Structure 1
């Protein structure tokens, strides 16, 4: 039975770090929701445990970029079916395009990942099924030179966490706690 709030804090940080570093983690692809009640699955690319900040890659032309801007509310929902653990993160998002952190994220990406930003912007209407990529980029591992123009469309979403609602489901009795990041403390709440 989980009875320690310090354990909860450590568990949250550990799962977010694992989610950012392992594509096999249940926390690697959370649902990210914006203030316009739009939600989508995104890949968690980074977690800074010192600042409690999540990092995601995004297309600068996507509607969520305009909604979030330099400081919009963002929710991040993760669920690990095996562990029976749900985490609902709330925070403030901001979009960065031309910053050292965005540049570093671009450089750390493979050319295969970078090519996603070559084509039409998210939500562009098409007369036929499409990946949105230019025909020449379909199914190839492009060169750095080929994907260089895509940098104009690449951005990062940073989510500064404010609270994390941690829920563990168990036959013996569920446990739920909320970790307040700014206060650096947690509290138990009824599931």
Structure 2
């Protein structure tokens, strides 16, 4: 039997790739595309950083600026996640429901575990998407190229939000010269999975 002929193995492989993507900056899965639709029915897609994947809870965690327009587009809404691993020739298409959390103990712990340098981007003076008179990082001039102190980073906390995606389906596709393989796993089917035409 080929290794990609076993449905439980394929689901486990998909989650292994996601877990690795959350932990390994060099993994292509570390920066998936997150797609959504706004209140006018217009599509939006953006690359985001996957921070953690939890197979037991079937969730993905990412971070964002609480002031970003995408927060309203995503919170409580269906989303799609797309990642591709060229070396393994595996594509993952994931669907789920997004929720934004900003103020509970879990989010506070996540904030405190982040490096000061990582937290620096939340010091941006304007919400993402704000028109500017010229090219800019959006950061205050005093912090450009600097690592902030714990005291300096304090005001940034109000701009930090976590994006959680409750995964409802994983579409796993392996491209191979010997023949492609594709399987779809859904939470509504207790993740049993089914083979579908590539």
Runs ≥4 residues deviating over 4 A: none
* 1:138 pairs with 2:144: yes
TM-score (norm 2): 0.93
The equivalences for 1:149-168 within 5 A come to: 149-168=155-174
Residue 159 of structure 1 aligns to a residue whose secondary structure is strand
Aligned to 1:65: 71
1:26-51 Cα offsets, whole Å, 9 max, x none, are 11110011123111111100111111
Aligned to 1:178: 184
Partner of residue 188 from structure 1, selected from 156, 176, 195: 195
Residues paired across the two proteins, number: 190
1:69-106 Cα offsets, whole Å, 9 max, x none, are 2x111111000011111000000000000011211211
Counterpart-to-counterpart distance in 2, 1:77 and 1:100: 29
Aligned to 1:111: 116
Structure 1 gap ranges (5+):
none
Partner of residue 48 from structure 2, selected from 42, 45, 50: 42
1:1-53 Cα offsets, whole Å, 9 max, x none, are 32100111110110110001111111111001112311111110011111110
Aligned to 1:28: 30
Counterpart-to-counterpart distance in 1, 2:106 and 2:17: 23
Counterpart-to-counterpart distance in 2, 1:105 and 1:121: 21
Structure 2 gap ranges (5+):
none
Partner of residue 9 from structure 2, selected from 4, 7, 10: 7
Shift in Å, 1:181: 2.6
Residue 30 of structure 2 aligns to a residue whose secondary structure is coil
Counterpart-to-counterpart distance in 2, 1:28 and 1:108: 18
TM-score (norm 1): 0.97
Task: Return the structure number with greater helix share.
Answer: 2
